[in-house]
Amino acid sequence: MSEDFSTLSVLETLAESADIPQRKIADRTGLNLAKVNFVIRKLVTRGWIKLKRVRDNPHKLRYLYLLTPEGMTAKSRLAYKFVQRAVAQYADVQVKIEQSLQSMASEGIGRVVLWGSNEITDLCLRILSDGNHGLRVVGVVDPVGTNSKALGPAQLCAVNADAILICDPDISELRDDLPVHWLV
């Protein structure tokens, strides 16, 4: 996890709740307690947050974490940078998927089943909906069973497909009688 993402996660958590203990910050951000403590010290040093001791706490260990105006600005900048990076990664994944689809079409594959029901599957369906790849989706298999509109692995034999396009790395229930194509 990058330093910027760790910093942004802690800043966003503190913006939501100034009186949150560091253990809860760790739970919400997925960072370990030592990392949260390190990030908070860094934020104090940079002047992005101020610590205020809670007086009515008998243990005197509780603090309020108050974002300064500089901290709010930094949080906004980090969020913007994170979104820019995510958009660039999305574009890279889209290019890789399009290349994989073009490769499949050039091999003479026409009818495909998408294996998985997730964000990658949704992206593949959007890319394939333009019809420029010569591929036709004849089914989506949800190996986990969370998508009620998708096929189950046992129903795959009822679909006449040339290949299976893997959108989810869990292929434990995948039949091995059709060619498999990985997106990346």
113 near 140, Cβ under 8 Å? yes
Q: Which residues contact 153 (CB under 8 A, 6 or more apart)?
A: 141, 143, 173, 174, 175
pLDDT band at 11 (very low <50, low <70, confident <90, very high): very high
Q: Give the predicted TM-score (pTM) of the model.
A: 0.67
- What is the pLDDT, as a whole number, of residue 53? 81
Structure tokens at 88: 């660039």
78-125, pLDDT tens digit by residue?
999 999 999 999 999 899 889 889 989 999 999 998 988 888 889 999
Which has the closest alpha carbon to 154: 174, 134, 126? 174
Question: Torsions phi, psi of 10, nearest 5?
Answer: -70, -45
* Whether residue 8 has pLDDT greater than 80: yes
CATH topology of domain 92-182: Rossmann fold (3.40.50)
pLDDT band at 40 (very low <50, low <70, confident <90, very high): very high
- Rounded to an integer, the average pLDDT of 26-55 is 93
- What is the pLDDT, as a whole number, of residue 59? 59
- What is the pLDDT, as a whole number, of residue 60? 57
Q: Domain map of the chain by residue range?
A: 3-67, 92-182
Distances in Å between the Cα of 153 and the Cα atoms of 112, 136, 147 are 14, 19, 12
- Rounded to an integer, the average pLDDT of 59-66 is 77
176 or 120: which leads in pLDDT: 120
44 near 28, Cβ under 8 Å? no
Domain covering 3-67 assigned CATH 1.10.10.10 in the classification: yes
DSSP string, 84-122: HHHHHHHHHHHHHHHHHHHHHHHTT--EEEEE--SHHHH
Give me the helices (H) in the chain, please.
3-16, 22-29, 33-46, 69-106, 119-128
Q: Which residues contact 37 (CB under 8 A, 6 or more apart)?
A: 22
115 near 125, Cβ under 8 Å? no
126-170, pLDDT tens digit by residue?
999 887 788 999 888 887 777 777 887 777 777 888 888 888 887
Give 27's Cβ-side CA count (13 Å radius).
5
Q: How far apart are CA 172 and CA 85, in angstroms?
A: 32
